[in-house]
């Protein structure tokens, strides 16, 4: 549907600008292209994008590491990266409850014919959209949908009970930070693994204990949760190396596909946020947590779309606290 929306009457419609790439490679393959404006079909909204974030997945997509995921999708270059955005609804298809002018944020997969989030206009299903809380900037709102829903999915898969312990690696990062905050909001006792310099940050998220990252992290998690944590969200992608930190029969949520082998009856839950692409209720609940001040949105730096390559270079270099945001 999006494919035809994208190409139908393309010659007669005005263009929009988007961050694109037409071959896999380094950040230099990114460019700004003019593409025909997409039109919303039934059940879809078109968003005039104010801000879209840069995430590790955009680097994998551009480098070709995710090329296999394009097989059978019919997605052709130019590719548009980006999985989350915020902006203002500027056109609606039939059968949606959204209105022109609504301030919204949305999650989108770039592995579809209509492309990803880093474009002036993006068409998404109405189910991928939530209202931006009043008082929240569109730049900040753009940092929530993809990583917030990833953590919501991870916590849903871990299915821990209030009072149980949750370990979080990479706790100062985008996924890790939300994992600490949403874990706390679910009533869990959160033990965060991060650099010692990030102690104040992860405490602000609500972590009960900070365990310094590195070789002694597993021992530190056992000191904080004797016998091991009940569940762990591994945002630092340590994979098998964190299994010893989890109690017998506990659960591990992984974010880069690690599925085992496991040990001591630990369940491994590989998480893919695309399962929650249409989970409007979950996105809406995340927005409410922001409105209630229980979820902190962090913008590290803002880039114009012409500097998308610089943003990817900066993210790839590591050490960013908060998200890099492209504005349109």
Ligand X SMILES: NC(=O)c1ccc[n+]([C@@H]2O[C@H](COP(=O)([O-])OP(=O)(O)OC[C@H]3O[C@@H](n4cnc5c(N)ncnc54)[C@H](OP(=O)(O)O)[C@@H]3O)[C@@H](O)[C@H]2O)c1
Contacts with ligand X, residue ranges (CB under 6 A): 55-57, 146-147, 150, 169-170, 172-176, 195, 213, 235-237, 255-256, 271-273, 318-319
CA-based nearest residue to 315, from 71, 81, 22:
81
Nearer to ligand X, 174 or 184 (CB): 174
CA-based nearest residue to 217, from 198, 244, 177:
244
Residue 90: which residues within 8 A CB-CB, separation 6 or more?
Answer: 46, 47, 48, 100, 121
Closest contact distance (angstroms) between CB of 54 and ligand X is 9
The closest residue (CB) to ligand X is 173
Nearer to ligand X, 16 or 236 (CB): 236
Token duo for residue 198: 């990030």
298 CB-contact burial (10 Å; exposed 0-12 / middle 13-18 / buried 19+)? middle
CA-based nearest residue to 299, from 52, 110, 133:
52
Nearer to ligand X, 8 or 272 (CB): 272
Nearer to ligand X, 151 or 305 (CB): 151
Closest contact distance (angstroms) between CB of 82 and ligand X is 13
Report how far residue 295's alpha carbon sits from residue 280's, in angstroms, rounded to the nearest whole number: 18
Closest contact distance (angstroms) between CB of 68 and ligand X is 15
Nearer to ligand X, 91 or 241 (CB): 241
User: Do residues 51 and 327 make contact, with C-beta atoms less than 8 angstroms apart?
Assistant: yes
Nearer to ligand X, 119 or 192 (CB): 192
Closest contact distance (angstroms) between CB of 57 and ligand X is 5
Angle between helices 56-63 and 308-316 (to 10 degrees): 110
CA-based nearest residue to 269, from 225, 228, 239, 227:
239
Closest contact distance (angstroms) between CB of 4 and ligand X is 28
Closest contact distance (angstroms) between CB of 288 and ligand X is 21
Token duo for residue 110: 């770039």
Residue 76: which residues within 8 A CB-CB, separation 6 or more?
Answer: 113
Closest contact distance (angstroms) between CB of 156 and ligand X is 13
Nearer to ligand X, 7 or 272 (CB): 272
């Amino acid at each position: 549907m999006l494919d035809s929306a994208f190409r139908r009457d393309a010659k007669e419609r005005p263009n929009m600008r988007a961050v694109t790439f037409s071959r896999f490679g380094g950040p230099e393959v990114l460019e700004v292209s003019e593409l025909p404006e997409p039109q919303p079909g039934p059940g879809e909204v078109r968003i005039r994008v104010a801000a879209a974030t840069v995430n590790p997945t955009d680097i994998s997509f551009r480098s070709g590491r995710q090329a296999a995921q394009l097989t059978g999708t019919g997605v052709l270059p130019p590719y548009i990266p980006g999985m989350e955005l915020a902006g203002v609804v500027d056109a609606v298809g039939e059968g949606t409850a959204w209105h022109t002018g609504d301030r919204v944020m949305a999650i989108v997969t770039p592995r579809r014919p209509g492309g990803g989030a880093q474009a002036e206009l993006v068409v998404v299903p109405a189910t991928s959209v939530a209202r931006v809380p009043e008082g929240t900037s569109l730049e900040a709102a753009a940092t929530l949908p993809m990583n917030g829903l990833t953590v919501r999915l991870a916590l849903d898969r871990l299915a821990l009970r209030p009072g149980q312990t949750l370990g979080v690696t990479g706790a100062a990062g985008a996924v890790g930070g939300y994992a600490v905050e949403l874990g706390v909001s679910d009533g869990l006792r959160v033990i965060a693994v991060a650099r010692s310099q990030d102690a104040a940050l992860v405490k602000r998220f609500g972590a009960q204990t900070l365990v310094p990252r590195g070789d002694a992290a597993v021992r530190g998690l056992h000191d904080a949760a004797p016998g091991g944590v009940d569940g762990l969200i591994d945002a630092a992608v340590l994979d098998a190396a964190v299994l010893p930190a989890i109690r017998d029969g506990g659960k591990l949520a992984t974010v880069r596909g690690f599925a085992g082998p496991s040990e001591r009856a630990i369940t491994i839950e590989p998480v893919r946020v695309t399962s929650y692409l249409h989970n409007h209720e979950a996105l809406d609940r995340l927005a409410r947590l922001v409105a209630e001040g229980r979820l902190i949105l962090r913008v590290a730096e803002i880039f114009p779309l012409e500097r998308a390559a610089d943003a990817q270079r900066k993210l790839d270099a590591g050490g960013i606290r908060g998200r890099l945001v492209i504005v349109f």
